[in-house]
Structure 1
Amino acid sequence: MNDVIIIGGSFAGLAAALQLGRARRKVTVLDTGLQRNRFATRSHGVLGHDDKPPSAILAEARQQLARYPAIKMVNACADSISGTIDNFSVLTGDGETLSARRVILSYGVVDQMPTVQGFAESWGTSVIPCPYCDGFEVADQHWGLVWSGPQSMNQVRLFHDWTDRLTVFADGHDISPDVRADLARRRVLVADGRITGIARHGDHNATIKLDIGPDVAVDILFALPRNKPSAGLHETLGLTTVATPLSLPNRRASSPSRVTPSRRR
């Protein structure tokens, strides 16, 4: 029997495996290789690994874990889970049943791409979610922001740390007159209408196509699509979940959204 089965072998799962391996606990890590940040060409802000491809960071982490004999890496998904503390059972996609005293769910979330032509194809390159992750590389350029609700105003305020050229794409949302006045005061342009397509140019640049008005070219587009857990094992175990602004139903998502686990991945 394993001491711990870790479901999800990206940054969080491997970090947990490292500490458990050093404590000489018997650990099995189940991983599908579909980490959330696999669309990004570079990972930033990770001390000691800044500006490295995410796949290279994970490869190095797995290599480091190989020195711990108690850690076993398995390339498989977890189809189901049952049991309680000291007696968990996990069925893998390969039909193997594994047992463990404890289970760590580190499978994280998956982003729900809206049904906008070119959005999914541009994700991680021309369309990105986080200024701290990728803003430095495109600082002082023309940024675009897909408005997703009142919380988007916080992003507008934040973006001024990197650029003074920003266009907000309303994308069908009603932006109140007082918010529009605040945006105008900040010299932020507003492009009304819905986004109908995104044409990617090179590594970052994109042309945003609208159902009304002319197309708008930006050097980078920021967007926060809805997300949901990448697996449903937490529901099987009856774990408490909480709704967040990004996990609420998205009228334009390609599939239904669900709440995200209260634990960070």
Structure 2
Amino acid sequence: MFDVIIIGGSFAGLSAALQLARTRRPILVIDADAPRNRFAAHAHGVLAQDGKPGGVILAEARVQLAAYPNVTQLSGTVRQAEALASGKIAFAVTLDDGKRVEGRRLILATGMRDVLPELPGVAERWGRTVLHCPYCHGYEIGGGPIGVLGRLPASVHQASLIADWGDVTLFTAGMPPLDGEALQLLARRKVAIESVAVTAIEGAAPAIDGLRLADGRLVPLRALFLAAPVQQASPLAQQLGCVLEEGMMGPLVQVDAMKMTSVPGVHAAGDAARAMANITFAMADGVMAAVGAHHALITEEGQA
């Protein structure tokens, strides 16, 4: 039996694994190789890694983990997780190939899935010229005309924020009517408002020339941002009975300061359990979840 099983081997999961590797305890990492940021060509804003492809950073991390003989790395998707009726806190997880493994603690680093709009041209540009995070991608746009596709009330905040990176137009056809406070904020931030519906993204993907509107006009753009609702990328938190809380963009796993969920022995880290997401946040969450799981093991052993 492993002391800790980490489900998800992206930035949160591998950061948790590295911390736990150094405790010399037996650790298992299971990864489906589908990180949320796989659509982006480069990772930005990551200290000492700025501009490096995210996949390269993860590959280097896996190599470093392989140097620890107490860490096992498995490729696959976990389809089921359940508590063991053993009298002590312990869990069993089953992979899609039928393999079953057991551990005393779980860390869910299973991530989120972005729900993209049904607008022609979005999917093939996602992470390249159709974006969600200006801190990750805004600098490389280089200024100029930037669009924000309004979908949620949060799109007003997004448009006002992105105005630091260029000349922003907020496309409001998919949004509730803007109130006076929103209009004043957008005016102060010099955000233009376009109310005609968007019908398509123009340009040779992944490049973007602009947005085609229902009245036939083409609004030139260098990039398009949107606030995408999110879903849990894995059903495991729900299977285990973890409490979810409604975030601004979708349901998040509820955790405490040590990343413990409502289920004893189950921790969660990274995008699945936080509203504001980027690589650095995910890595920090992974470290905290690892420390929390380790402390919980020590406490349990002291009570035996």
State the TM-score, normalizing by the size of structure 2: 0.78
In 2, the alpha carbon distance for the partners of 1:181 and 1:59 equals 47
| Bigger shift: residues 221-230 or 133-142 | 133-142
3-state DSSP of counterpart to 2:120: coil
Gaps of at least 5 residues in structure 1 are 248-258
In 2, the alpha carbon distance for the partners of 1:100 and 1:264 equals 17
Structural mapping, 1:18-33, within 5 Å: 18-33=18-33
Q: Percent identity, please.
A: 37
Structure 2 counterpart of 1:244, one-letter code: G
- The answer as to 2:116 corresponding to 1:110 is no
Query: Does the aligned pair in 2 maintain the 1:192–1:212 contact within 8 Å?
Result: no
In 2, the alpha carbon distance for the partners of 1:204 and 1:264 equals 33
> Residue 178 of structure 2 aligns with which residue?
176
3-state DSSP of counterpart to 1:137: helix
Q: How big is each residue's C-alpha offset from its partner over 1:2-23, in whole Å with a ceiling of 9 and x where there is no partner?
A: 1111110000000000011110
> Residue 251 of structure 1 aligns with which residue?
none
Of residues 197, 212, 215, the one that matches 2:215 is: 212
Of residues 148, 159, 166, the one that matches 1:145 is: 148
3-state DSSP of counterpart to 1:73: strand
1:152 is displaced (CA, Å) by 2.4
Query: Does the aligned pair in 2 maintain the 1:86–1:100 contact within 8 Å?
Result: no
Query: Does the aligned pair in 1 maintain the 2:65–2:71 contact within 8 Å?
Result: yes
* Number of residue-to-residue matches in the alignment: 253
Query: Does the aligned pair in 1 maintain the 2:6–2:13 contact within 8 Å?
Result: yes
3-state DSSP of counterpart to 2:161: helix
- The answer as to 2:183 corresponding to 1:191 is no
1:204 is displaced (CA, Å) by 4.6
Could you say what the CA RMSD is over the residues aligned between the two structures, in angstroms? 1.8
> Residue 126 of structure 1 aligns with which residue?
129
Q: How big is each residue's C-alpha offset from its partner over 1:144-177, in whole Å with a ceiling of 9 and x where there is no partner?
A: 11123332232233223322x1111113324336
In 1, the alpha carbon distance for the partners of 2:191 and 2:161 equals 13
> Residue 89 of structure 1 aligns with which residue?
92
Query: Does the aligned pair in 2 maintain the 1:31–1:74 contact within 8 Å?
Result: yes
Of residues 219, 228, 235, the one that matches 1:232 is: 235
1:211 is displaced (CA, Å) by 2.2
| Bigger shift: residues 53-62 or 132-141 | 132-141
State the TM-score, normalizing by the size of structure 1: 0.89
Query: Does the aligned pair in 1 maintain the 2:8–2:29 contact within 8 Å?
Result: yes
Query: Does the aligned pair in 1 maintain the 2:82–2:239 contact within 8 Å?
Result: yes
More helix by share: 2
Query: Does the aligned pair in 2 maintain the 1:8–1:107 contact within 8 Å?
Result: yes
1:213 is displaced (CA, Å) by 4.9
Structure 2 counterpart of 1:169, one-letter code: F
For residues 264 and 104 of structure 1, do their structure 2 counterparts lie closer, same or farther at Cα, with a shift above 3 Å needed?
closer
